[in-house]
Structure 1
Amino acid sequence: MPGSTTHSTSVPGPVTPGAMRDALGAFASGVVVVTAQGPAGPIGFTCQSFSSLSLDPPLVCFSPARTSGSWPRIREIGRFCVNVLAADHEHHSTGFARSGVDKFAGVSWAPAPSGAPVLEGVSAWIDCTLWNEYDGGDHTIVAARVEALGTDPDRMPLLFFRGGYHLTPRGAS
């Protein structure tokens, strides 16, 4: 039948974390690293849940896990930079997702106006101040005011889709 769709899987009953991952993994997202300059040096973590929130005032949002050790330290500082990773930054995504290591070892960066690290070669960076936080279950929903930003139109973004990294070539539909 023209225009009909096929539903390959349905999940009756309680929604499990695995079913959530499977279904929501069908939505491609970019990958960011949120950074700040702390008293003991730079801090950062990988975050997949990031989006634009408002144009007036200029706000973005992201959602760190409640188990994050980096977000509470960045929250205290109140100023941070969201680095939109480029297609060749899979190593940054995995490196900044690790705990208990020097995440900035061997990583080139320059300070944003806030002093937070802007990672070399990112597709875009958004320098922010904390606006507000909201309960998001096992995550915290962070709303942040955009204070400065920059972009490199020649750098394609790193995408995460169905549990893996991908790149959509420029001009592909």
Structure 2
Amino acid sequence: MTAHVDACAPLDDLTAYRHTLGAFPTGITVMTAADGEQRVGVTANSFGSVSLEPPLILWNLKTSSPSLPTFRNSGHFAVHVLAWHQEEICRRFATPLPDKFDGLEVSDGLGQAPLLEGCAARLECALVHEFITGDHVVLIGEVKRYQNLHREPLIFFRGATRWFDQPLVS
């Protein structure tokens, strides 16, 4: 079998560039935070580990996001690694809605960050650093509490959400 190879596209072809990035499968997370009565949540696949000692993670958010002030002011946020059955949650938090938490079972985590149920894993973090690069801000959190709930993950690959037919967790 011969693989199809696209010619190198110019960097100003953002659609081709986005499709190229889509060749890398990523996990899907929902990030949540609260500042007083203001609760926010966003879907993100830009999550990654930075360090084990101390336990640091990072993720990215557009600098123009209306949720950014809440993430900055709260001092804490929660990371929800979505499970295979949470595609509706993924879409809900990727869509502008007046109250993304309406009708969901939610509890309060560190810094009142909303905690969602049914995830594959969940981490509660203190915001320790941020820096702006390009059109995004990179948020770095120190993990203060975490849970591995041993559920199969929901992933993003080639522009679509997917899950595995075979178990990944033994």
TM-score (norm 1): 0.89
Residues 171 and 37 (structure 1 numbering): CA distance in 2 closer, same or farther, change over 3 Å? Answer: closer
Count of aligned pairs between the two proteins: 168
Q: What percent of counterpart residues are identical?
A: 35
Q: CA deviation at 1:136?
A: 2.2
Please show how residues 75-114 of structure 1 align to structure 2 within 5 Å. Answer: 75-114=72-111
Q: 2 CA distance for matches of 1:91 and 1:164? A: 13
List alignment gaps of at least 5 residues for structure 1: none
RMSD: 2.0
Aligned to 2:159: 163
Q: 2 CA distance for matches of 1:143 and 1:78? A: 11
Q: 2 CA distance for matches of 1:66 and 1:171? A: 35
Aligned to 1:19: 16
Q: CA deviation at 1:39?
A: 1.1
Q: 2 CA distance for matches of 1:101 and 1:117? A: 16
Q: 2 CA distance for matches of 1:59 and 1:10? A: 38
Q: CA deviation at 1:46?
A: 1.1
Please show how residues 17-166 of structure 1 align to structure 2 within 5 Å. Answer: 17-153=14-150, 155-166=151-162
Q: CA deviation at 1:130?
A: 0.9
Q: CA deviation at 1:6?
A: 4.3
Q: CA deviation at 1:161?
A: 0.3
Q: 2 CA distance for matches of 1:19 and 1:88? A: 30
SS of the residue corresponding to residue 64 of structure 2 reads: coil
Q: 2 CA distance for matches of 1:52 and 1:23? A: 23
TM-score (norm 2): 0.90
